[in-house]
Amino acid sequence: MTGAQAIPSLFCITNTIYYSTMPKMKTRKALAKKVKISGSGKVLRRATGQNHFNAKEPGKVTRRKRSDAPLPKAEAKNIRRALNV
């Protein structure tokens, strides 16, 4: 047997070797734009309620909205699966 016949998942087209593997999982791009993975591995999302009616809110609330909010572990697990991380 030759080398190409020894490995059944290997085939050759015009002297180029290709490996037949399962298709790659696609990333959910809409979700990837909405969340961020931190350096420590936390899944962060944008704070809600930033669009309008912010002038009447206290400064404490305004400052809290500037930072990203972490997601619960159960939701983070599903998001990681959708992002292939």
Q: Are 65 and 45 in contact (CB under 8 A)?
A: no
pTM of the model: 0.65
Tens digits of residue pLDDT in 23-35:
888 999 999 999 9
Mean pLDDT of the chain: 85
Sign of CA dihedral 30, 31, 34, 39: negative
17 - beta bridge partners?
A: 12
Structural domains in the chain?
25-83 (4.10.410.60)
Tens digits of residue pLDDT in 1-25:
555 555 555 555 566 666 667 788 8
35: which 2 tokens? Answer: 């969340």
Go through 34-66 and write b for each residue having 16 or more CB atoms within 10 A of its CB, e for each that does not: ebeeeeeeebeeeeeeeeeeeeeeeeeeeeeee
Q: Regarding predicted confidence, which is higher, 5 or 74?
A: 74
